[in-house]
A = this chain, B = another copy of it.
C-alpha cells in the first residue's frame, strides 16, 4: 500500500508534491510498469485534496511519460520510460547535477560529503528495485 504525505502550507504546490512522490515510487520500483495508482476519487478522499488537483498531478505525469490514464479503467504506470538518446540523457543529467553542485557550494559542503550523500540516495533507490 502506497502512502503519500502532502503539506498544504508548503511553498511547493500540492500537485507538485504528489508528482514528486509518485516519481520517487516509480524510480524506486515500488510502483512498477503496469501497476495501477489510486483512482482520482479515492486519492482525493484519502489525501483530503480536491479531485482536480489529483487530475492535474496525474496529467502532468502523463505528459512526462511516467503514467498512462485509461478512460473508465484507471491510471497506470507507463510501460516504457524515457526513450531519450544518450547525449540528451547526459545533458539533462548534467543540468541537474550543476544545480546540485551550485547549492552544495553555497551550503559550504565539501566534495566528499556531496558525493557520499548522492551515493546514499542512489543506493536507497536501487536497493529497493528488487522488492515487491
Interface residues of A (CB under 8 A from B): 8-9, 13, 20, 23-24, 26-28, 63, 66, 68, 70-71, 73, 81-84, 89-90, 92-94, 96-109, 111, 113-115, 117-126, 129
Contact = CB atoms under 8 A, between A and B. Distances in A.
Nearest to A26: B106
A73 to B, nearest CB: 8
Contacts of A107: 82, 84, 89, 92-93
A92 B103 contact: yes
Given A81-B106, A106-B82, A122-B111, A96 B99 contact: yes
A44 to B, nearest CB: 15
Most buried by B among A13, A90, A115: A115
